[in-house]
Structure 1
């Protein structure tokens, strides 16, 4: 195992869903299951981050978020990991860089909700992410049009593959990305925190 991550046979495809998961919720589960099916992934790793550089307030303690994520996401093809804490990476680009060096024969796909695509250009070295791995974007409640008109979507418009070809995304050389409309749940981490149902 590498930093607590499981062995992966050469040639398999792993989807990476990163975030603070503060808290994890059914929306995360939904996009994970859809990604497994629609992108033809062999497995998905939830990368529970120590924090979000774009947010002022720190998340709940990592152990609490990890326990909640593992209790919620029980799919046999999904691993919940604190890889970024163990590896000491702070930003997604360096996390992907390290994973690719540790698993040179594995194909990775970065997964994100459409809400993240809208502000993806604010991420550190976001263009490196696009150039390193295919990106699968799944619709989340909110302004889908805003996500499709995001800076990243415009800059990489010619690298977008049609949703009908989504199962081939992992086989594409980066940059390549695909936007999928899926059935949506309105649940979100911020809404749960605001409701008081996630207390630390």
Structure 2
């Protein structure tokens, strides 16, 4: 398959793609985006053999406090400045469609682009609370999932409620490049390089500097 990446200036739309592409979907508020997000993208792309990774910058996580949430366009612009890989694309299309839950986004993508091979990517910290997500079992049945290790969650995440419920569908890391072609449910826990950065720490650091000033 020949893959061509075009300019993605319209971040309110889906990135360009072609049938058969293996695409990682990396969702979150990215408030703000940081090198840890970039690290996960690159590691997932390399380990899973993906053609692209799409950052789905959400209007806001229903499970989180939005009082410190920066405007969507501000977060998108920051992500575009941070990302330096031509196959990592940024999109805020969820807001255009009024999607609130991850399930709605993934249902739309799988229905509108059925000939793409999607993998949902998330940090191990999200796996700990995955059972609280809207229709989380349906998400697991919709597409393969790649979980990337995060500091502080290496022990809890593999034994979380969702991980236990889906334990029969866990695949070994040695089969990472097969994940995108697998029929869901199928998920993998990825060990690898970790970043200590988190969006919360960055926001708290900014507040501390502001207070000191």
What is the Cα deviation at residue 124 of structure 1?
Answer: 0.5
* Inter-partner Cα distance in structure 2 for 1:22 and 1:7: 25
- Cα distance in 2 for partners of 1:38, 1:75 equals 16
- 8 Å CA contact 2:15–2:54 kept in 1: the answer is no
Give CA deviations for 1:89-124 in whole Å, capped at 9, x if unaligned. Answer: 110001000011111100110000011100000111
Distance 1:140 1:70 in 2: 23
Cα deviations by residue, 1:113-140 (Å, 9 ceiling, x for unpaired): 0111000001111111000000000011
1:123 corresponds to 2:123: no
Q: Distance in 2 between matches of 1:7 and 1:51?
A: 24
| Paired positions, count | 199
Q: CA RMSD in A?
A: 1.6
Q: Quote the Cα distance in structure 2 between the aligned partners of 1:83 and 1:108.
A: 16
SS in 2 for 1:121: helix
Superimposed CA distance per residue, residues 131-155 of structure 1 (whole angstroms, 9 cap, x where no aligned partner): 0000000011112110001111101
TM-score by length of 2: 0.90
Given candidates 77, 82, 85, the residue that maps to 2:92 is 82
Given the alignment of the two structures, is residue 57 of structure 1 paired with residue 57 of structure 2, yes or no? no
Question: Offset at 1:6?
Answer: 2.8
Tell me the equivalent position of 2:21: 12
Residue 183 of structure 1 is matched in structure 2 by 193
Bigger radius of gyration among the two: 2
Unmatched 5+ residue regions in structure 2? Answer: 1-7
Q: Please state how far the C-alpha of 1:13 moved relative to its aligned partner.
A: 0.9
Contact 2:131-2:161 at 8 Å conserved across structures: yes
Is 1:109 matched with 2:119? yes
Structure 1 unpaired stretches of 5+: none
CA distance in 2, matches of 1:112, 1:187: 15
Q: CA deviation at 1:14?
A: 0.7
Task: Report the TM-score when normalising by structure 1.
Answer: 0.95
